[in-house]
Chain A
Amino acid sequence: METISVTSDYIPILIQIVVALSFVVVVMLVSHFIITKRRRVRSIKKEDNFECGIEIEGNARFPFSVKYFLIAILFVLFDVEVIFFYPWAVNFKESGWSGLLYMLLFVALFMFGFYYIYKKGSFDWNKDEE
């Protein structure tokens, strides 16, 4: 538990990134250049986007439901709070009751925020927007 990771511990991860990246690049290049390059047939109609066979209407760069953005923002807020839990969790056994009580205070604040957005209806997807 007292071990301190030095930079050399991360060298294998670096090697793994290089190996995985080269695998992906090689497979992509093989499938692109060696096999399918000459076989590709192109035409304007064919390269349309798929829309169940009917004429395409506009493109897919349009605004979509704001709920998704709301979820993304809530995720950022909550994820930061989750990250605050980690240092406490690692030291939980040493900190004893006092550490737990301080954390309960934090959890109470966390739950208060959660209760607020719950009541605001952020998680109700099928409610009509007024």
Chain B
Amino acid sequence: MDIQILYKSGLIIVILLLSLVIAMYATLAERKIAGFFQDRLGPNRAGIFGLLQPVADGVKLFFKEEFMPATADKFLYVLGPSLTMLIALLGSAVIPWGNTLVIGNNVFPLQVADVNIGVLYVFAVTSIGVYGIMIGGWSSNNKYALMGAVRAASQMISYELAMGMALIAIVMMSGSLSLHDIVAQQHGIHWNVWYQPIGFFVFVICAFAETNRTPFDLPECDSELIGGYHTEYSSMKLGFYLFSEYINMFISSAMIASLYFGGYNFPFLHELGMSHNWLTIVGTFVLFAKIGFFMFLFMWVRWTLPRFRYDQLMRFGWKVLLPLAIVNIVATGVIYELFKK
């Protein structure tokens, strides 16, 4: 028991550090990819290929002057970004990063907590994310920030519905809410995406909206709202908002990979003749490759598609995605019952 607790604590620290480092380098990757898409170089001054750029950005944010508007609600103004960052760091707890490692008589699962309501946990945590943005935008006492915050809130709750509906079809297929079970059932190439293409489509779009990425970045919307909900923020508080967006992107990519693309599973898993521990390690690398692909997809879409208009956004969420997700549930149910055995 003690060794397990110790191991879990170590795993938590490793995963948190890993998600911070990945988020850091995602900012660099984003700028490099933007450079590539716009036929320019991107950051290349700090370190070789600009590899020290994220460190330089972090140090810069630490040394910036801390600004707080005189009319702001001081407690909530600090709480907003802190909450956003905290929530972003909590999502990784239930994601299975790999199978189990067997050392001696001890079995070490590469998952922080295998709770039987894993899907609901992630869902709950992302819902709290709305509060961070809402509190930050409202407490700044700035009109742009307020507009950004109400937009963010109503966009995120709208797309959360369709996201929950898309997940229900997955839960129907697997009969479990535990992410570990859902991933374990997609062994080999039996990935959920082949059985749930519509659900996958809806889920990915909702993941874009939940992380406030283009084409759903209306809360920030720099061409009409200055900076949206973080207009009045500076220093590390702004850093928290920007940074948590990348961590959320990482967690969303991990969720998409686990729910629809088989997580750490890969084809011909057992034909390779490797030992269990090696398979686990290879599986973890495969999972990170899938996550990397989806993070690239996030950036690819950002530098390709223009932003929605607000009424288009709401119309799309409620009139297209929500009915589509319900049709998907019904279709999944009927097809499953017709073709089972």
Contacts and interface: CB of A to CB of B under 8 A. Distances in A.
Contacts of A79: 157, 160-161, 164
B12 interface: yes
Interface of B: 5, 8-9, 12-13, 16, 61-71, 78, 82, 85-86, 89-90, 92-94, 112-117, 120-121, 138, 140-147, 150, 153-154, 157-158, 160-161, 164-165, 168-169, 171-172, 175-178, 181, 226, 231-232, 235-237, 240, 310-311, 314-315, 318-319, 322-323, 326, 329-330, 333-334, 336-337
Interface of A: 1, 3-5, 9-13, 15-17, 19-21, 23-25, 27-28, 30-32, 35-36, 39-41, 44, 47-52, 59-61, 64, 67-68, 71-72, 75, 78-79, 82, 85-86, 89-94, 96-97, 100, 103-104, 107, 110-111, 114, 118, 122-126
B141 A89 contact: no
B172 A39 contact: no
Contact of B82 (A28, A30, A64, A123): A28
B90 A16 contact: yes
Sort A-B residue pairs by CB-CB distance and give the 8 closest, nearest first.
A125-B311, A31-B236, A20-B89, A47-B70, A89-B171, A12-B113, A75-B157, A12-B8
B146 A28 contact: no
Majority SS at the chain A contact face: helix
A124 B89 contact: no
Given A5-B117, A23-B89, A86-B120, A71 B157 contact: yes
Given A71-B158, A72-B154, A79-B164, 13 more contacts: A5-B115, A13-B113, A13-B115, A15-B5, A20-B89, A23-B85, A31-B66, A35-B62, A44-B70, A59-B141, A64-B146, A64-B147, A90-B177
Contacts of A52: 226
Contacts of B175: 1, 90-94
Contacts, number: 204
Contact of B333 (A24, A31, A50, A100): A100
A129 to B, nearest CB: 13
A105 to B, nearest CB: 12
A27 B235 CA distance: 11
Nearest to A9: B115
Contacts of A123: 314-315, 318-319
A60 B146 contact: yes
B12 A61 contact: no
Q: Which interface residue of B68, B143, B326 has the most chain A CB atoms within 10 A?
A: B143
Contacts of A3: 116, 178
Contact of B232 (A39, A49, A114, A125): A49
Contacts of A85: 164-165, 168, 329
B116 A82 contact: no
A16 B323 CA distance: 37
A85 B85 CA distance: 31
A96 B326 contact: no
A9 B114 contact: yes
B114 A16 contact: no
Contacts of B164: 79, 82, 85
B66 A50 contact: no
A121 B92 CA distance: 39
Contacts of A44: 70
B64 A36 contact: yes
Nearest to A31: B236
Nearest to B61: A31
28 contacts: A1-B176, A1-B181, A12-B112, A12-B113, A15-B8, A16-B12, A16-B93, A23-B89, A31-B61, A31-B236, A32-B66, A36-B64, A47-B70, A50-B144, A50-B231, A59-B141, A60-B138, A61-B141, A64-B147, A75-B157, A75-B161, A78-B161, A86-B168, A89-B172, A104-B333, A110-B326, A111-B326, A123-B319
